């Protein structure tokens, strides 16, 4: 299949403007961000001119002049109680002729006014009174803070001391700072705890240091935070006890009196807490052990826990930086935090970094092309220092004039080749035999650290894995390990990605002289590694991803040459077994599995792993998801159903606001992207997936060229897709007329306009599913009258659509065999017309009126018609139709006299015991041909079980009975069991636990399959009850 890309850049319609939604979730007065710099300045001048701020607060023009829009909102909400802040803002905006923003603020105030909390009185206290000497101490403290944090990129710590190191700000992180303490709805209050989440190296500490720098320069919430202190958690690893006031004094203030004044006004205090992974003691969660007094001497863990829980200094504001693994221990203490996730470089920023690093145009283009085709590597580069590491490695390779794709077939190989440049120094330091033992020890340390959520190691940890001082020094010399400042003999891997790589290497090291020649992983271990290596932003560890990368046998030479070690593949066979079992468990969301399979990249392995997968659920949120899905889907051999979500986030990743600077680059990338989409679509026409019959597109936005590619595939004669859901588009209508296999078109959650209805009428020659469709009365008449004349159409599934009674009449008189009118606003008044039309239908075999408010009187008309039907109706669904026990008396005669009805669903109606007993009396008749009866949640108890048991012993035709979600309990089950044993029917009954799996519309209409001559009873059985019965 070939698509025309030549005009793509000119016809591209998607545009993305970065939104404040994610940064300012639930923020109030966000509309103030719409003001330009000049307009915001005018707003500030009018605010000061009108003297609307209380003089007692001491807000100066200097403070106000420096405030950004979010700080302005914060100042207004904190200084002006309740609705006054909105009213003042609106008054000024009206004077500025900003009526649109003023109107938005008025609407917002109306929404949150019932829940709006007035500012606490202590927040409007007069400023803290300080002596000149104390002011001097604070100014000196700010100078030290500025000196310490001015160069956020520290050139004294690796990799900043590398000659080729390039530092670039992450623009998205800079945009986060102003919004951190924006007041939030519905109370209109500033969050007291803000948690910054992010994987190692993503920039949490950098953001904290920028915050401290801006605070010291009076550029960060200067009206609010008079004092700010940054604490690295390793500072709390003291031996013995200290008070929080001593800790503050140790920051350089050198005055206990000043510290006491600062802590007496915690509302003006900002505390930044970082690096929880370096805390050696566990946090304290028992409330009785937490302490309020900031002068009391405490162990570090108790002090930190008291701050996090707000037992100590509850009015202080906390800014907490955590890794995903550290958050587990922290979240039990913090209450009502606001969350921000750092995502690092966006794809376009990564590509910009690559262009900035490589000055030569030819090399730059070569590297950018290589990176765009390797989305796993590109996503790793969202961590700035990893981006540098990749550039450094690729530069070394290009100096050797090698082909990058051949030298680096996957992301793992790039990281391994970087480490390979460091290992000659390590091998020189260590003797030959000792080198192998030391490498194994470092790998063991790394792997155990990943499993134990540990990244800081002391001498005892190294001794435990038999790593000696010489090895530690060697790894320190090449910056694979780093010694922590002022922490004695405590070490971390310089980059967390190093720990992940060495941890993965531990499970491929090969020792032929040993009885167990490799380090085996358990099946649960492999499953956990796959789960933790998912493609989402905050995945906990990539060790599983690197393990699969190392398991590629064709690329084993890269590892052997790099580390001078032997490798084995004992864990590889076990991985196949685990992946197959994941499918057996019904885990077909492939966002976790596909990255690992793509990284290993072996055709035979991937095909074997996916051999049993019949259903896949793809959530495409990024280009990485698209590439991984394209690679893996093409290697599936037995697919039957594909469910696809192409979200708005995907297009934001593909066509962001800051797109690549040249059309040529953008066009080149689009060609790559659409080739991956073509690979996904080609799955529908391959002989290896000849049983692939269902394509469901959910919650998706499909741009024109994406639609063109998929519909071109669906039109091909070798495409066997029979059921197509949620793809209503003019190109799809052509598929209806040209694809002889397509039997069902689903148009769920679609607004049908007049032109769409006309096109659909012209194209429809096959079954149709219309769910949550909006159309006018005239359009429904047009559609249903066309269906009446359409002799090819055999099934219509219409749900959550307001179909009128005239439309129902047309449908029932058509050539349809299967009709679902689920949740279509049908009432008891509609049933008389339905019954009349039903009595004239000649072909209908399946009818569902589920989720309509038919009531007992409405159902009476349906049952009366059922007794004299001309059509061979086999299944009737009256699920959730507001029926009661009274309707059961209408069923007796129809169930006896109608010879074609075999399946009946009465679930989610209040039939109660009386209704079920009446129903059982009808089913006892030998003329009743019912095979399937569904009574889920019909509100009956064990009182009806004796009659139920009696009916089951007399009725030898019934093959499926659903009793789930009723109140029959153990007494009812015993009654059934004893009756079966008494009648010697126990061997003819199969007990089955109710599945929690949701069914699609067509399966619900068709009903449960009758599999054998046994009676299958479905319940919410406990395992102990099953054993008893």
- CB-based contacts of 871: which residues, under 8 Å, 6+ apart? 838, 841, 842, 843, 844, 845, 900
Q: Which helix (H) or strand (E) holds 711?
A: helix 704-714
What is the per-residue pLDDT across 908-924, written as a single tens digit (0 to 9) for each? 999 999 999 999 999 98
Strand order, beta sheet including 457-458: 457-458, 490-493, 481-483
> Cα(648)–Cα(699) distance, rounded to whole angstroms?
9
Give mean pLDDT, residues 503-519: 90
What is the per-residue pLDDT across 240-252, written as a single tens digit (0 to 9) for each? 789 999 999 988 8
| Residue 853, both tokens | 């408010």
Give mean pLDDT, residues 195-216: 91
- Specify whether the CB–CB gap between 448 and 500 falls below 8 A: no
Give SS3 for 646: strand
> Cα(603)–Cα(58) distance, rounded to whole angstroms?
70
Band of the pLDDT at 152, cuts 50, 70, 90?
low
Q: Please count the other Cβ atoms lying within 10 Å of the Cβ belonging to residue 688.
A: 14
Query: DSSP readout, 455-512?
Result: --EEHHHHHHTT--HHHHHHHHHTTSEEEPTTSSSEEEESSHHHHHHHHHHTTTB--T
- Specify whether the CB–CB gap between 128 and 268 falls below 8 A: yes
Cα 536 to the center of its chain, rounded Å = 7
What is the pLDDT at residue 664?
Answer: 53
- Specify whether the CB–CB gap between 545 and 595 falls below 8 A: yes
Residue 130 has pLDDT above 50, yes or no: yes
Q: 718 or 929: which carries more pLDDT confidence?
A: 929
| Residue 14, both tokens | 């998607």
> Cα(782)–Cα(806) distance, rounded to whole angstroms?
11
Residue 16 has pLDDT above 60, yes or no: no
Residue 493's region, left for phi above 0, alpha for psi from -120 to 50, else beta, is beta
Supply the DSSP symbol for 126.
Answer: P
What average pLDDT does the chain have?
A: 83
What ranges make up the beta strands (E) of 478-610?
481-483, 490-493
- CB-based contacts of 750: which residues, under 8 Å, 6+ apart? 726, 728, 770, 771, 772, 773, 774
- CB-based contacts of 233: which residues, under 8 Å, 6+ apart? 273, 274, 275, 276, 277, 278, 279, 304
- CB-based contacts of 836: which residues, under 8 Å, 6+ apart? 865
> Cα(667)–Cα(671) distance, rounded to whole angstroms?
6
For strands 457-458 and 490-493, give the pairing: antiparallel
Q: What is the pTM of this model?
A: 0.76
What is the pLDDT at residue 371?
Answer: 94
Q: 255: which strand partners?
A: none
Give mean pLDDT, residues 285-293: 92
For strands 317-322 and 818-822, give the pairing: unpaired
> Cα(66)–Cα(335) distance, rounded to whole angstroms?
31
Cα 59 to the center of its chain, rounded Å = 43
> Cα(329)–Cα(706) distance, rounded to whole angstroms?
44
Q: Is the bond into 553 cis (omega within 30 degrees of 0)?
A: no
What is the per-residue pLDDT across 751-805, written as a single tens digit (0 to 9) for each? 545 455 555 555 554 445 444 444 454 555 555 565 555 555 677 777 766 665 5
- Specify whether the CB–CB gap between 283 and 330 falls below 8 A: yes
> Cα(726)–Cα(700) distance, rounded to whole angstroms?
9
Query: DSSP readout, 733-799?
Result: HHHHHH-TT--EEE-TT-B--HHHHHHHHHH--S-EEEES-B--HHHHHHHHHHHHH-SS--EEEEE
| Tokens 């394509």 sit on residue | 695
> Cα(551)–Cα(564) distance, rounded to whole angstroms?
16
> Cα(7)–Cα(406) distance, rounded to whole angstroms?
32
What ranges make up the beta strands (E) of 119-223?
193-197
Residue 97's region, left for phi above 0, alpha for psi from -120 to 50, else beta, is left
- Rounded to 5 degrees, φ, ψ at 231 are -125, 125
> Cα(1023)–Cα(1029) distance, rounded to whole angstroms?
10
> Cα(62)–Cα(629) distance, rounded to whole angstroms?
55
Q: 774 or 423: which carries more pLDDT confidence?
A: 423
Supply the DSSP symbol for 904.
Answer: E
What is the per-residue pLDDT across 682-697, written as a single tens digit (0 to 9) for each? 888 887 777 887 777 7
From the list 25, 29, 26, 20, the residue with the least C-alpha distance to 88 is 29
Residue 904 has pLDDT above 90, yes or no: yes
Cα dihedral value 81, 87, 88, 89, nearest 10: 110
What is the pLDDT at residue 869?
Answer: 86
Supply the DSSP symbol for 249.
Answer: I
> Cα(82)–Cα(112) distance, rounded to whole angstroms?
10
| Residue 961, both tokens | 């009975």
- Specify whether the CB–CB gap between 848 and 1004 falls below 8 A: yes
Residue 228 has pLDDT above 90, yes or no: yes
Q: Which helix (H) or strand (E) holds 619?
A: strand 615-620
What is the per-residue pLDDT across 850-892, written as a single tens digit (0 to 9) for each? 999 999 999 999 999 998 888 899 999 999 999 999 999 999 8
Please tell me the chain's helix, strand, coil percentages from 3-state DSSP, rounded to the nearest 5: 50, 10, 40
From the list 300, 298, 279, 202, the residue with the least C-alpha distance to 490 is 279
> Cα(447)–Cα(453) distance, rounded to whole angstroms?
10
> Cα(537)–Cα(323) distance, rounded to whole angstroms?
12
What is the per-residue pLDDT across 74-127, written as a single tens digit (0 to 9) for each? 988 888 888 888 999 999 999 999 999 999 999 988 888 888 876 554 445 566
Residue 268 has pLDDT above 80, yes or no: yes
What is the pLDDT at residue 606?
Answer: 93
- Rounded to 5 degrees, φ, ψ at 460 are -60, -40
> Cα(507)–Cα(567) distance, rounded to whole angstroms?
9
- CB-based contacts of 828: which residues, under 8 Å, 6+ apart? 853, 854, 855, 857, 858
Q: Which helix (H) or strand (E) holds 241?
A: none
What is the pLDDT at residue 923?
Answer: 92
Strand order, beta sheet including 193-197: 227-232, 269-274, 317-322, 193-197, 338-341
Q: 799: which strand partners?
A: 771, 822
Cα 408 to the center of its chain, rounded Å = 30
Query: Which of 772-807 are b and which e, b meaning 16 or more Cβ less than 10 Å from the residue's Cβ?
Result: ebebeeebbbbbbbbbbebeebbbbbbbbbebebeb
From the list 461, 433, 450, the residue with the least C-alpha distance to 564 is 433
Angle at 674 between CA 668 and CA 675, to 5 degrees: 90
| Residue 776, both tokens | 């006018």
| Tokens 């996090």 sit on residue | 308
User: Of 128-137, 467-476, 572-581, 778-787, which has the strongest mean pLDDT?
Assistant: 467-476
- Specify whether the CB–CB gap between 900 and 927 falls below 8 A: no
CA–CA distance from 724 to each of 256, 748, 811, 815 (Å)?
A: 73, 11, 21, 21
What ranges make up the beta strands (E) of 385-480?
457-458
What is the per-residue pLDDT across 572-598, written as a single tens digit (0 to 9) for each? 989 998 888 877 665 445 778 899 999
- Specify whether the CB–CB gap between 901 and 873 falls below 8 A: yes
What is the pLDDT at residue 666?
Answer: 62
> Cα(920)–Cα(953) distance, rounded to whole angstroms?
11
């Amino acid at each position: 299949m070939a698509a025309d890309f030549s005009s793509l850049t000119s016809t591209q319609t998607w545009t993305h403007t970065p939104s404040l939604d994610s940064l300012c979730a639930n923020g109030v007065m966000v509309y103030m961000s719409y003001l330009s710099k000049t307009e915001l300045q005018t707003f500030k001048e009018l605010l000061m001119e009108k003297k609307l701020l209380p003089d007692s607060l001491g807000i100066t023009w200097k403070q106000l002049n420096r405030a950004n829009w979010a700080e302005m909102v914060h100042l207004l909400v904190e200084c002006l109680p309740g609705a006054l802040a909105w009213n003042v803002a609106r008054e000024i905006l009206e004077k500025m002729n900003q009526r649109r923003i003023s109107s938005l603020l008025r609407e917002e105030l109306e929404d949150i006014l019932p829940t709006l909390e007035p500012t606490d009185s202590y927040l409007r206290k007069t400023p803290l009174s300080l002596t000149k000497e104390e002011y001097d101490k604070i100014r000196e403290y700010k100078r030290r803070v500025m000196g310490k944090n001015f160069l956020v990129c520290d050139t004294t710590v690796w990799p900043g001391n590398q000659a080729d190191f390039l530092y670039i700000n992450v623009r998205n992180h800079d945009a986060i700072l102003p919004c951190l303490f924006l007041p939030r709805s519905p109370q209109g209050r500033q969050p007291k705890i803000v948690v910054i989440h992010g994987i190692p190296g993503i920039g949490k500490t950098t953001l904290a240091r920028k915050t401290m720098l801006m605070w010291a320069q009076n550029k960060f919430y200067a009206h609010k935070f008079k004092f700010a202190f940054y604490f690295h958690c390793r500072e709390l690893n003291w031996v013995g006890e200290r008070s929080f006031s001593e800790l503050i004094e140790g920051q350089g203030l050198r005055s206990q009196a000043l510290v006491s004044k600062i802590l007496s006004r915690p509302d003006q205090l900002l505390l930044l807490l970082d690096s929880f992974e370096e805390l050696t003691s566990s946090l304290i969660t028992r409330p009785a052990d937490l302490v309020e007094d900031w002068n009391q001497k405490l162990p570090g863990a108790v002090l930190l826990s008291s701050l996090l829980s707000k037992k100590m200094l509850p009015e202080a504001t906390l800014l907490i930086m955590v890794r995903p693994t550290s958050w587990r221990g922290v979240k039990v203490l913090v209450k009502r935090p606001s969350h921000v996730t750092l995502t690092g470089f966006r794809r376009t920023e990564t590509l910009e970094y690559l262009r900035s690093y490589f000055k030569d145009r030819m090399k730059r283009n070569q590297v950018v092309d290589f990176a765009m085709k390797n989305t796993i590597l590109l996503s790793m580069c969202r961590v700035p220092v990893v981006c540098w590491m990749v550039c450094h490695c690729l530069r070394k390779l290009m100096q050797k004039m090698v082909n990058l794709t051949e030298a680096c077939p996957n992301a793992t190989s790039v990281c391994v080749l970087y480490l390979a440049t460091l290992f000659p120094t390590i091998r020189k330091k260590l003797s030959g035999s000792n080198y192998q033992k030391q490498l194994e020890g470092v790998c063991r340390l790394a792997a155990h650290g990943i499993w134990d959520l540990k990244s800081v190691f002391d001498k005892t940890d190294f001794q435990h894995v038999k790593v000696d001082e010489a090895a530690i020094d060697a790894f320190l010399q090449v910056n694979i390990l780093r010694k922590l400042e002022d922490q004695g003999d405590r070490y971390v891997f310089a980059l967390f990605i190093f720990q992940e790589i060495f941890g993965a290497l531990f499970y491929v090291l090969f020792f032929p002289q040993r009885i167990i020649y490799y380090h085996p992983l358990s099946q649960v271990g492999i499953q956990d590694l796959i789960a933790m290596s998912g493609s989402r932003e905050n995945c906990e560890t990539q060790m599983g991803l690197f393990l699969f990368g190392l398991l590629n046998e064709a690329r084993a030479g890269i590892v052997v040459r790099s580390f001078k070690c032997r490798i084995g593949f004992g864990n590889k066979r076990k991985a196949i077994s685990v992946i197959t079992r994941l499918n057996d468990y019904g885990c077909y969301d492939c966002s976790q599995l596909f990255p690992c399979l793509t990284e290993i990249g072996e055709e035979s392995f991937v095909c074997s792993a996916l051999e049993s997968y019949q259903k896949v659920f793809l959530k495409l949120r990024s280009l990485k998801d698209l590439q991984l899905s394209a690679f893996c889907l093409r290697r599936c051999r037995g697919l039957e159903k594909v469910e696809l979500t192409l979200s708005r986030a995907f297009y934001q990743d593909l066509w962001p606001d800051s797109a690549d600077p040249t059309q040529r680059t953008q066009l080149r990338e689009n060609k790559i992207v659409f080739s991956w989409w073509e690979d996904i679509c080609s799955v529908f026409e391959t002989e290896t997936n000849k049983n692939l019959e269902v394509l469901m597109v959910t919650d998706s936005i499909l741009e024109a060229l994406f639609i063109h590619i998929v519909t071109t595939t669906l039109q091909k004669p070798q495409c066997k897709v029979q059921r197509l859901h949620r793809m209503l588009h003019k190109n799809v209508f052509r598929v209806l007329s040209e694809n002889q296999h397509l039997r069902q078109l689903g148009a769920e959650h679609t607004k049908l306009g007049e032109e769409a209805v006309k096109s659909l009428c012209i194209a429809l020659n096959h079954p149709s599913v219309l769910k949550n469709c909006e159309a006018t009365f005239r359009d429904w008449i047009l559609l249903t009258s066309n269906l009446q004349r359409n002799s090819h159409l055999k099934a219509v599934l219409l749900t959550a659509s307001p179909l009128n009674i005239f439309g129902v009449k047309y449908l029932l008189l058509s050539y349809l065999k299967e009709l679902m009118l689920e949740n279509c606003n049908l009432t008891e008044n509609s049933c008389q017309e339905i019954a009349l039309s039903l009595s004239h239908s000649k072909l209908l075999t399946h009818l569902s009126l589920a989720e309509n408010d038919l009531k007992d009187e409405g159902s009476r008309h349906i049952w009366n018609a059922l007794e004299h039907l001309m059509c061979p109706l086999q299944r009737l669904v009256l699920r959730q139709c507001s029926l009661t026990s009274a309707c059961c008396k209408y069923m007796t005669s129809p169930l006896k006299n109608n010879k074609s009805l075999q399946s009946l669903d009465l679930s989610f109606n209040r039939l109660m015991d009386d209704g079920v007993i009446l129903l059982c009396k009808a089913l006892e008749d030998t003329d009743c041909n019912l095979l399937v009866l569904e009574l889920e949640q019909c509100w009956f108890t064990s009182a009806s079980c004796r009659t139920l048991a009696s009916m089951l012993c007399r009725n030898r035709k019934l093959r499926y009975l659903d009793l789930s979600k009723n109140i029959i309990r153990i007494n009812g089950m015993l009654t059934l069991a004893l009756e079966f044993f008494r009648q010697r029917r126990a061997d003819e009954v199969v007990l089955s636990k109710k599945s929690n799996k949701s069914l699609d519309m067509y399966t619900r209409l068709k009903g449960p399959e009758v599999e054998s001559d046994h009676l299958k009873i479905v319940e919410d059985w406990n395992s102990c009850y099953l054993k008893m019965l």
